[in-house]
Structure 1
């Protein structure tokens, strides 16, 4: 009798565990999963904020349709780092902006990591309309990396390695990414103009006759210091309006939009192109200087090391015309890879070059 009672209790306990268990991020690829994408996202603790955003916009149920779909899914940690900690935080966004956000992470077709070409900037049209960019490379300093384990970044956001990539579902595949993708349907000029904390940069661009170029087709990449940074160098809103660019070497200010040369450079691109310690010739060269973005992910403790080094492209080594190392404003998740209709904005916490050292 005691044995039968224990057996019944054990069976009941197992039923409770099974009933409460949420989906794992690792359904087997060699089977035919029956779970559709919308239901999988809804039932995953690590994707609960993405699920909430999709639920608010009606996309979650749409992802249960036959498909197929590829979804780049930011986990909760990625949302937390841009200031979204609960579903209520999405209420601060307009319905249109939230709809754009979630639909921009999905495109039609099922693409596993091995199916993305081994090259930079593969384009895929999202459900939102605008394209996203998938870059694939071998591991740094490696001549060959197996396709399933290659380094893959989407708009500068890392796709985590297995088991968080190639999550096979009945109507598509999910790849979990490091941070939410950031797309604004405006030009770089409109983006900068709308943010009053960037007003000094806007004035400097106008004084240097670079402003009008930022509304053209591009694509352009712009490194943007905010007003607080300029004030550290004694450049105020008033003094910026009186700035005489003829008193400075051209590079002093045209380095920020990379001299308006058409380039779309995500924060992680140059790491993929050149490896961690690439030569100066593989960096972003502007005049006699070179910008070297660095990105390192520590898998042991799940931390990132991200920064920009300013290099002397002629003499080699670090630049002597300002800070040698610059960081992204409010961290990597917030400061980098803000994609617009005609390029990219990276928010930085220092000037690339000290104008005082470049006076004629």
Structure 2
């Protein structure tokens, strides 16, 4: 009897052991079948707020210095969301800023407005901007608007190719994710003239004294205070001198003897708000970035286009003036300009671009049968 009970106890112990093993196996199987969606995601500690991210990137040290100088670094580490458009150090170098100490030459309030123009109070990814659009406006932290232009190749694809510009500055790095927003790196500093129209802006620059005097002499000046928009390619004093236009010439010239719309009007594009980069975007959208138009005299014909010129790959523009729009027309001027730092000066009624080559000499704009007195 005792032996029988011992066998029973052994069997019961075995069953208990098997039960414990099965329970463990069942728990392991449950863990192995756990679905990823049931896992609570952990925050990525490597994603930093905007100011911290900028502070820890070497190519952004000058923008970082500007943030610290203006106190905007504290704001950019807040909750956001923000979109930060960061000109890299090479962009600051183009406008003469090579080290943080160079920013001390700038008025602190003016610098704050400039840097605030590079910040949006929202998340703006490339996919949020309408494909193949030009001059699409977004409000900035400064209070005014900037202009986004984007040319998209295969916009419906999973990974489309996008050429993106903000107020004429190319985004060379896009959609950098931040804990409180997103960041895009630009190849130039955006330079809005917040309260100035084109007339105000030109009046402040000694390099364009002869151009301003010529516009006044030939009745083209007052319009540049109007709403516009205008795009003005402003020749420097030296550029006009090479074409025979100086203060001495203007003092003795008789306006009635010249076609004003050619002599000085050739530098003005009417009813057009034209960043140099817009031509690049048009080239993506319709495979033709050229813009052709008659001057105000309805005869002379201008061809304009822009491209990234080899070997520097800097964005440059070309202006070609013809005496008419026929196949047999004569090219009167053909100039190319490629100094990115002096393009896209955004004013309240349009844009100004620097031009170091003159287009038209007085003898090319003189009216037939007229001699200068």
5 Å-filtered alignment, 1:221-260, equals: 221-249=231-259, 250-258=261-269
Partner of 2:67: 54
Is residue 71–residue 175 contact of structure 1 (8 Å, CA) maintained in 2? Answer: yes
1:131 alignment partner, one of 118, 122, 145: 145
Instruction: Please say which of residues 238-247 and 342-351 is displaced more in the overlay.
Output: 238-247
- Which residue in the other structure is 1:354 paired with? 361
Structure 2 match to 1:178: 187
Q: Is it true that 1:268 corresponds to 2:277 in the alignment? A: yes
**Structure 1 residues 242 and 145, CA, compared in 2 at 3 Å: closer, same or farther?**
farther
- Unmatched 5+ stretches in structure 2: 1-42, 368-373
1:159 is paired with a residue of what secondary structure? strand
Distance of 2:289 and 2:118 partners within structure 1: 34
Give the number of equivalent residue pairs: 317
**Structural mapping, 1:110-121, within 5 Å:** 110-118=123-131, 119-121=133-135
1:320 paired with 2:334, answer: no
Give a deviation string over 1:249-270, Cα, whole Å, max 9, x none. 2323212122xx3211001112
Give the TM-score of the pair, scaled to structure 1: 0.81
Structure 1 residues 132, 143: closer, same or farther in 2, change over 3 A?
Answer: closer
Determine which structure has more spread, i.e. the larger CA radius of gyration.
Answer: 2
Of the three residues 96, 115, 121, the one matched with 1:102 is: 115
Distance 1:293 1:358, change over 3 A: same
Describe the shift of the 1:152–1:252 C-alpha distance in structure 2 as closer, same or farther (beyond 3 A).
same
**RMSD of Structure 2 on Structure 1 (CA):** 2.5
Q: Distance in 1 between matches of 2:256 and 2:157?
A: 50
Shift of 1:81: 1.5
Distance 1:220 1:44, change over 3 A: same
1:115-172, Cα deviation, whole Å (9 max, x unpaired):
1112100101111111110001135xx7977665211111111111xxx210000111
**For residues 168-213 of structure 1, what are the alpha-carbon distances to aligned partners after superposition, in whole Å with 9 as ceiling and x for unaligned?**
0011110001101011121111111111121101011111211111
| Structure 1: runs of 5+ lacking an equivalent | 1-29
Is 1:192 paired with 2:192?
no
Q: Take 1:74 and 1:291, find their aligned partners in 2: how far apart are those partners?
A: 31
- TM-score, length of structure 2 as denominator length: 0.78
Is 2:177 aligned against 1:168?
yes
Deviations 1:34-90 (A, max 9, x none): 410011111110100000011100011110111111111100111112211001111
